[in-house]
A and B are shown apart, each in its own frame.
Chain A
């Protein structure tokens, strides 16, 4: 039996409609490209608080890591609390160099080591899309870190040790589909941030790309997605991977949860079937690896 909405219900519905409108596909093709790339970059998952009705891209999500709790910042174009005062160049520098407009280093909880390989054109398209959103006034919450990390100098030191930014260069010995998959997996999609194990200082062990992470974010074990027969996804076909990335179903009929469900909702289900296929092709071509023990 449908009930008439209470005044509060109406307000909530109107707000929800407003938020949906703010996140809906823009008509301008340049903005549409930015929207698509932002989805492929998974920006909204981390930059939105984890509660019902949270404003997309307004930040506040807690990311629990072995190093402390990071709270994502507001990336709506609000001038006071968001990135409304940033130039496109400053935005690209954040993604490519891991620096905020004041020149201070970001902690690698923000996956700029992956985004550094993004083309400048793609980064600018994402900037244009974010700038087209409705500004949301939501002040950033400081990270909860132990004292020895609670300074941007720690992030600077980390960069000095581990951050070697380089643009994505296509591998001429591979076809266009593999290269597109490599770009999506390594850079935009930053899959390795969760699926590649890290060393004691939190840098990715790139020699074990996608071999799984026994100590992933939110204290979760992240599975091995190399084509290893025993530990990885060696028995998944390309269409199994495509299906998983589209609707979240594993080949045995189980459904992903534990973080990946959200990645599928916000990111991979939004991609074209061609891009999902490219991701599958890239993953199946990785060297099979045993999971780190």
Chain B
């Protein structure tokens, strides 16, 4: 039994050591997973904040998870991950700086929402939620092709 456990551990370790060179397919899959996670947390936050769901005690954990993902957005679009099953537009890599700035607002706006929720002021939360939306919407409008 112990031998089996340790061999599993070794193979996981082996996987972990090769995980540095992700294929473009995996990068795209991962990017979508993180984006969908963000959508889920935003939907959750807005339903709780909007009073549709009684789950105040989970508001902050949604916001923290959202901010963690927001921090990651800028790293989800490495060069070479623009072809395949993706809605990401080539403009992302052509523009460079414009997109980097847009990705930065994903980070700062989600962090601000988390801080507003920690602060507990309703008007501030509403405003912060709106700027998270503006950040998502602005980026999707310019850099995502949706069928």
Listed in ascending order, the chain A residues whose CB lies under 8 Å from chain B are: 220-221, 239, 243, 247-249, 251-262, 264-265
> A-facing mask of B40-71, CB < 8 A → 1, else 0?
11111010001010000000000000000000
Which stretch (B1-9, B10-18, B20-28, B131-139) binds chain A? B131-139
Listed in ascending order, the chain B residues whose CB lies under 8 Å from chain A are: 38-44, 46, 50, 52, 129-130, 133-134, 136-147
| Contacts A254-B39, A258-B146 given; does A249 touch B139 at CB 8 Å | no
* Closest beta carbon of chain B to A28's beta carbon, Å: 28
| Contacts A258-B144, A258-B146 given; does A265 touch B43 at CB 8 Å | no
6 contacts between A and B (CB under 8 A): A243-B46, A248-B133, A248-B134, A253-B44, A257-B140, A260-B141
Judging by beta carbons under 8 Å apart, are A255 and B145 in contact? Answer: no
Judging by beta carbons under 8 Å apart, are A258 and B42 in contact? Answer: no
* Closest beta carbon of chain A to B88's beta carbon, Å: 11
Q: Which residue from chain B places its CB closest to the CB of A237 in the assembled complex?
A: B52
Provide the bound-state CA to CA distance between A254 and B129, in Å.
13
Q: Closest 10 A-B residue pairs measured CB to CB?
A: A257-B140, A253-B43, A261-B141, A253-B39, A255-B136, A247-B133, A253-B42, A261-B137, A248-B137, A257-B141
Judging by beta carbons under 8 Å apart, are A249 and B133 in contact? Answer: yes
Collect the chain A residues with CB atoms within 8 Å of residue B40's CB. Answer: 252-253
Which one of B50, B52, B137 contacts A255 once the chains associate, using CB atoms below 8 Å?
A: B137
Judging by beta carbons under 8 Å apart, are A247 and B44 in contact? Answer: no
* Closest beta carbon of chain B to A212's beta carbon, Å: 11
* Closest beta carbon of chain A to B71's beta carbon, Å: 18
Collect the chain A residues with CB atoms within 8 Å of residue B141's CB. Answer: 256-262
Judging by beta carbons under 8 Å apart, are B41 and A256 in contact? Answer: no
Provide the bound-state CA to CA distance between A97 and B144, in Å.
37
Which one of A247, A251, A253, A258 contacts B140 once the chains associate, using CB atoms below 8 Å?
A: A258
Judging by beta carbons under 8 Å apart, are A257 and B137 in contact? Answer: yes
Judging by beta carbons under 8 Å apart, are A258 and B145 in contact? Answer: yes
Collect the chain B residues with CB atoms within 8 Å of residue A258's CB. Answer: 140-141, 144-146
* Closest beta carbon of chain B to A9's beta carbon, Å: 16
